[in-house]
Structure formats: structure tokens, C-alpha cells
Amino acid sequence: TKIINCYFYNHYIPSCTEKTPYFDLAPDFKEEYLKQVLDHFNYNSHGNGTYDQRYLITDQYWKKGNGPIFFYTGNEGDVWEFALNSGFITELAAEQGALVIFAEHRYYGNSLPFGKDSFNIPEVGLLTVEQALADYAVMITELKKELGAQKCPVIVLGGSYGGMLSVYMRIRYPNIVAGALAASAPILSTAGLGDSIDSFSGTNIDVFCLLIQDFEKFNPACKDAVQGAFQKLNTLAQQKDYRRIQSAFSLCKTPSTPKDIHQLNGLLRNAFTMMAMLDYPYSTHFMGSMPAFPVKVACETMLNVFILCRPTGVVYNSTGQLTCYDLYSLYVECADPTGCGLGFDSYAWDYQACTEIEMCYESNNVTDMFPPMTFTEQQREQYCSKRWGVVPRPGWLKTQFWGDDLATASNIIFSNGDLDPWANGGIRKSLSPSLIAINIPEGAHHLDLRESNPADPESVIVARKEESEIIAQWVKAARKKSS
């Protein structure tokens, strides 16, 4: 059997065989660390030292000293997770002779500036978008020198928050970055812009029901079914019939308070949102394991009218190991109402959602399919000052990174999938000939960054081709300018 690179629940296995469970084919990445400046902006702070920042690099396709550099601006998690779920970037590198680097965001994965103390106060204070961007700018500059790549144009790429960072890199460091591919980057909604408040992170009932019904004719029974399930839960809760709730949802403990019911509603809402976001046409191991078309797996259509959804199994029991669902360990409420995940990475994301990144998303049961759950700026403030001793600064991201006023920027692709709950928080219409929106009708959350797959819809194949052509043009223009 062939030895390949494997990945198993956030742990990279350097060499294993095709028989290892949950393997993913990975390109030939080397894992490296860079001595990185802790605090780029304050020469006197507690962060006057350095920390080890992880990155992955492969030169297997690189035309040495000449080919471009494709630099992934890592986001809120272990960098391997992104490298192994962004195969398009290595495919593109093979096509264009590029060096590929995946950088890990500070405070995530193994790039913890203060080890296990990183989430203490004040150590956590060096977790900002600006520090992360400066890390990437320094890393690109140093690696170019080290690798004799001074003349090589750099293209940044990223998905979701990583896509936001790609946009910011291009507008903050255009001296270093020639262009950016921002896939599914909600740069508007996270800056408090647009109408994200209207629909819970865009988990639009109509789109969701299309996912269940295989793009067949829209069936109004679907909306009733999903809303009806939440309605039933809340009727049982009002009747204090907690035993029936426990058995209906296979909960480990009998809920007993309105707080428990609120938590259950949050856990269910999170499950639906995750499935919609990760509704890829084949099974994946990204943010947990998902079957192909998870929404359809979770929601069966019976007699073409009656619809029954059991999202908890698909999202929380993908290992098949759970005998019951523990309300408080599977889902943790945080400053991101769509969920922060679990473990250290979730602390970091919670802190970011408490500072620069605004996610006051609410569900209302009118424009979305979830029970009304508020998350006001006031609630956010209360939570954040209690949890992290910080007061969020609404509007800062918009000031710092231009909000929707991007007209003077250039060379950015904003790609979005119409199925993605996050899509409408991003740029959906081209803003100029070099600020290009690409919409992928059958795409979930940054499907375009994933490696080619036989199950890919035509629209993502077309999008990738267009992205590839635009990037090649940017590289060519950058080379011309520097010669």
C-alpha cells in the first residue's frame, strides 16, 4: 500500500496508509516554524519577545526563484485543517509553477504565543487581526529572502475569516501582495454592515429546503416541518414536559430550566447552520466529519410532503460513538452565535468575536427558520466584559479595513456560493474591473477552494477556471511591473 499523508481529528499523521481511517490525500507539505515578533506595534509591551509561528510549505510545483507564491492566510484553526481542505490551491500551483505556503494564525493550532497561558488576561491581548496580518507580512518578507524568491509575485488566498484576511492583506500590504482570492469571506456582515440581522447568518429557509428537496420544486411543507419541530420543542418546554424532550432528543440529562431549553435551541440551530454551510456534494473531514449532502442525510422527505430532520446525529455524532447528547459539552455558547467550536481554538475565536469581529446575528423565526433568539450589542458587551474583561468596539473593523467602501482597492476576487449561509455577508457584485465577484449557484462554504472532485457541480468548475485565469493575469502584471 502507498504511504500517504493522513489527517485524523485535528492530528496530522506524517505517514500512514490508505487503510488508515479518515485519511485525506495531502500534498507533500513540510511543517516549519518561524521566529515571529510577538507584538508588532508596541516596543515596550509584555510581548517584547518572539514566538514560534507554524507554517506549511511545499515547493514540489515551484519554478524556483521565478514562479509565484500562493500564500494561504490561515484562519481560526489548525493550519493542517485548511491545507487539507483547500486542494484547489495546490492544483493551481501545479498549473502555474507556484510555491505554496499555508500560514497558521497566531493563537490557533500550534501557534500559541504563550503556550497554555495564551488565553490568560493579558496574554490574550496580542490576538488581533492587525497582529495576524503583520505576522503574515513579516513571514512573506523573510521567506522570500530565505528562499531567493524576491522577484516572485505573491498571491494571498483564504476561505471564510481567512478570506477576510486575504482581502485585508491586499489593502494593507499592497507592496507585498499582488492580489487576493477571498472565498466566502463575510467582510460586510462581520463589520456590522448589510442586513445580516435579517436572517440568521443567512440560513434562509428557502435555500435550506432546496437542499433537502434536491433542487426540486419548492415545497412549502418543508418550512412548516422545520419550524414545526422547534415549535413542538417549545410547546413541550412550556408544559414543562422535560422527560419527553429528553427522550425526543436523546439527551443525557433531563433538562429542567429555561436555560437548558435555550441551550438546546442553540445546539439545534448550530447543527442546522453547520450542515447548510458544509453541504458539499461528497463526504468531507472539515470542521468534523460530514457525509455527502448532509442536509439531505439529516432531513428525510417522506411521501414527498412530510419532512423530518434529525440534525444532531449528523453534526454531533459523526463518530457513531455517542449514546446520548450532552447539552453543555457538545455546544458552547460564545460571542459568535453560530458557534465557536470546542477547545483552545474556540477560546481564540470567542475573543476575536468579543473584540474586532462583530457577529450580533439573531434568529427571528420570520426571515429564518429558527426560534427567536436575540444577540444584541448589549448582550455581547455584557458577555465579553465578563468572559474576557473587554468591551467590543463596534465599527472598528469597518474603519480599519474600509467596510464596503472598497472602490480604491484592486486585484481582489470575492467568491461566494449561493447555498452558503454566509454568502450574503460578503461582496456579491463586482465593484470594478479588478474587484471581481464570482458567484457559484451550487456552492456551499468556499467549495471553490476544495480540490477537484468528480461530484463537483459545473458552476464550481467554471468558477475555478475563472479564478485561475485572473490570478495568472495578476502574476504576469506584477512581474512586468517589477522587471
Ligand X SMILES: *[C@@H]1O[C@H](CO)[C@@H](O)[C@H](O)[C@H]1NC(C)=O
- Report, as residue numbers or ranges, the catalytic residues: 160, 420, 445
Stretch of residues binding ligand X (CB under 6 A), selected from 160-168, 291-299, 321-329, 373-381: 321-329
Number of residues that bind ligand X (CB under 6 A): 18
Stretch of residues binding ligand X (CB under 6 A), selected from 96-104, 315-323, 340-348, 392-400: 315-323
Q: Which of 168, 272, 293, 325 binds ligand X (CB under 6 A)?
A: 325
Q: Which of 292, 297, 322, 409 binds ligand X (CB under 6 A)?
A: 322
Q: Which of 240, 207, 235, 309 is nearest to 268 (CA)?
A: 309
For ligand X, give the closer residue by CB, 263 or 410. Answer: 263
Stretch of residues binding ligand X (CB under 6 A), selected from 22-30, 123-131, 185-193, 312-320: 312-320
* C-alpha to C-alpha distance for 156 and 98, rounded to whole angstroms: 12
For ligand X, give the closer residue by CB, 231 or 376. Answer: 231
For ligand X, give the closer residue by CB, 23 or 230. Answer: 230
Q: Which of 420, 483, 447, 60 is nearest to 207 (CA)?
A: 420
- H or E, element range at 417: strand 412-417
Q: Which of 121, 248, 324, 391 binds ligand X (CB under 6 A)?
A: 324
Counting contacts by CB under 6 A, is residue 234 touching ligand X? yes
Stretch of residues binding ligand X (CB under 6 A), selected from 132-140, 174-182, 227-235, 386-394: 227-235
CA 391 from centre of chain? 24
Nearest approach, Cβ of residue 40 and ligand X (Å)? 14
For ligand X, give the closer residue by CB, 46 or 253. Answer: 46
Cβ(467)–Cβ(448) under 8 Å? yes
Residues 413-452, one symbol each (x = binds ligand X by CB under 6 A, - = not), give ----------------------------------------
Counting contacts by CB under 6 A, is residue 115 touching ligand X? no
Counting contacts by CB under 6 A, is residue 48 touching ligand X? yes
Strands of the sheet containing 50-58, edge to edge, are 30-37, 50-58, 99-103, 69-73, 154-159, 179-183, 412-417, 435-440
Site for ligand X in 341-370 (CB under 6 A): 365
End-to-end CA distance of the chain: 48
Listed in sequence order, the DSSP H helices in 105-184 are 129-146, 161-172
Q: Which of 14, 21, 115, 320 binds ligand X (CB under 6 A)?
A: 320
Counting contacts by CB under 6 A, is residue 42 touching ligand X? no
Counting contacts by CB under 6 A, is residue 44 touching ligand X? yes
* C-alpha to C-alpha distance for 8 and 354, rounded to whole angstroms: 30
Counting contacts by CB under 6 A, is residue 247 touching ligand X? no
Tell me how long the chain is.
Answer: 483
* C-alpha to C-alpha distance for 403 and 168, rounded to whole angstroms: 10
Nearest approach, Cβ of residue 10 and ligand X (Å)? 20
Residue with smallest beta-carbon separation from ligand X:
320
Nearest approach, Cβ of residue 344 and ligand X (Å)? 22
Counting contacts by CB under 6 A, is residue 227 touching ligand X? yes
Q: Which of 283, 289, 317, 453 binds ligand X (CB under 6 A)?
A: 317
Nearest approach, Cβ of residue 162 and ligand X (Å)? 31
* C-alpha to C-alpha distance for 378 and 382, rounded to whole angstroms: 6
Q: Which of 20, 60, 250, 283 binds ligand X (CB under 6 A)?
A: 250
* C-alpha to C-alpha distance for 373 and 354, rounded to whole angstroms: 18
Cβ(62)–Cβ(147) under 8 Å? no
Nearest approach, Cβ of residue 17 and ligand X (Å)? 25
SS3 39: coil
Counting contacts by CB under 6 A, is residue 291 touching ligand X? no
User: Cell triple for residue 461?
Assistant: 468548475
99 Cβ contact partners less than 8 Å away, ≥ 6 residues apart: 57, 58, 59, 61, 62, 67, 68, 69, 70, 93, 147, 149, 152
Q: How many CA atoms lie within 13 A of 286 on its CB side?
A: 27
Nearest approach, Cβ of residue 330 and ligand X (Å)? 10
* C-alpha to C-alpha distance for 132 and 136, rounded to whole angstroms: 6
Counting contacts by CB under 6 A, is residue 318 touching ligand X? no
* C-alpha to C-alpha distance for 364 and 10, rounded to whole angstroms: 34
Which residues of this protein are in contact with ligand X, per CB under 6 A? 44, 46, 48, 227, 230-231, 234, 250, 313, 317, 320, 322-325, 365, 371-372
